Amino acid sequence: MIVDRYYYHQLNKQEQAIYKAFYKGVMSHQEIIPIPVHGEFSQESFERIFMAMTRDNPLIYFLNQSACSTASDMFGRLAICPQYFFTKEKVKEYNRKIEKMVNELAGKLQLLECNDYEKELRVHDWICRNIEYDYEGSDKNKLSRVIASHNILGVFAHHKAQCEGIAKAVKVLLNAVDVKCIVATGDSIKSGQCVPHAWNIVDIDGEPYQLDVTWDISTTGQNKQFVVYDYFNLTDELMNQDHKADSRLPICRSKKANYYVQRGCSFQMRHRLMAYIDRLIAKNEKIYEFRAEGRLNKSDIEKEVADYIVQKLQADGKSCGRVRTSSNRGLGIHRIELL
């Protein structure tokens, strides 16, 4: 297990000292936490420290992020006054259950027996197959649901969560098996609308990659046997099409650990794509999935490939029934299913 505190290292020295005091006080459930600063302390600095601590430490799921305040005495000494969702005893109980589940998952998925890419892949697949997006997780009339959905409790206790809870659970699971992982926050853009969102930056073999398990869950939908990998280890160039981070993050340039690159089904040349399709046809595959890069990612590439598959099967005297196509054109990902 590694201690991975990316945001701590983005703070200045004074903020780091406050972060440490804040963290120590929260972990011991203090109601008043003295901090090593005198005089004025800006709200902007406090919010930066608060964000850093809660993003770096997903196991702090019991802290009310909207109800922490600061106070000072007549001598100018400052303190943070946190509010907690659960008692100290309840937190200990939850922590035991979370630790047990993380350890069991690490064993079940054999996470200690594979390389970092495979660890990430297995965690991604487990979440996509076992966790549902909690569409009621923002209902203010269901406070306990909101608390769980935005934290790791949603994943580990209820198997339902929103993006923040999912991203934090990914960090917990990967950090537990020595993979560096950051919780990224900002906005996602769908149909021209920006909404608050959380995802991850994962370090594989010394290179950072963008990962959004939540959006892969949404695309997977009800068919949990068919997992999608649209947002598995993207570059900034691809991710920034529909994600906008609200803080500085590691620059993600490498394509090496992208899912489609690793599988050998990311293509820039048409003849290589068609050779890959021929191999799948020979294996009688029902699902054809690939990533088209550059000029190959033209508007009708999935139709062209689908027509080719049908013609090839008919020439071999085979029937394929209905054909369903789907695409994430911005990322160049195309799927063709024979139904």
User: What mean pLDDT value characterizes the chain?
Assistant: 92
**pLDDT tens, residue by residue, 272-281:** 999 999 999 9
**pLDDT surpasses 60 at 221:** no
pLDDT value of position 73: 78
Would you say the CATH fold of 264-338 matches that of 88-258? no
- pLDDT for res 3: 85
Q: How confident is the model at residue 74 (pLDDT cuts 50, 70, 90)?
A: confident
pLDDT, tens only, 298-310: 878 999 999 999 9
How far apart CA 235 and CA 275 sit, in angstroms, is: 26
Over range 101-119, report the average pLDDT.
Answer: 97
Q: What is the Cα–Cα distance from 55 to 164, expressed in whole angstroms?
A: 10
pLDDT tier at 72 (50, 70, 90 boundaries)? confident
Confidence class for position 119, pLDDT limits 50, 70, 90: very high
C-alpha span between 123 and 74 (Å, rounded)? 51
Give mean pLDDT, residues 239-266: 96
pLDDT score of 61 more than 90: yes
Q: Which stretch of 121-130, 182-191, 212-221 has the lowest confidence by average pLDDT? A: 212-221
Residue 10 has pLDDT above 80, yes or no: yes
**Is domain 264-338 annotated with CATH 3.30.1370?**
yes
Average pLDDT, stretch 95-112? 96
> Given this model, what pLDDT does residue 222 score?
59
Determine the pLDDT at residue 224.
62
pLDDT of residue 317: 83
**pLDDT at 110 exceeding the cut of 60:** yes
Q: How far apart are CA 48 and CA 296, in angstroms?
A: 43
Residue 108 has pLDDT above 90, yes or no: yes
DSSP 220: H
pLDDT attached to residue 160: 95
Range in 97-101, 188-192, 193-197, 311-315 the model is least confident about: 188-192
Please state, for a pLDDT cut of 70, what percent of the chain lies above it. 98
Q: Are 165 and 145 in contact (CB under 8 A)?
A: no
Look at residue 339 in the predicted model and tell me its pLDDT.
Answer: 85
Domain ranges of the chain: 7-81, 88-258, 264-338
pLDDT, tens only, 128-168 = 999 999 988 777 777 788 888 999 999 999 999 999 999 99
For residue 310, report the phi and psi dihedrals to the nearest 5 degrees: -60, -45
Predicted confidence band at 220 (pLDDT cuts at 50, 70, 90)? low
Using CA atoms, how far apart are residues 135 and 161, in angstroms rounded to an integer? 8
Is the predicted pLDDT of residue 39 greater than 70, yes or no?
A: no
Which fold would CATH assign to domain 88-258?
Answer: C8orf32 fold (3.10.620)
**To 5 degrees, how large is the angle CA 72–CA 74–CA 75?**
90
Residues 6+ apart with CB under 8 A from 199: 163, 167, 183, 184, 210, 211, 212, 213, 214, 215, 231, 243
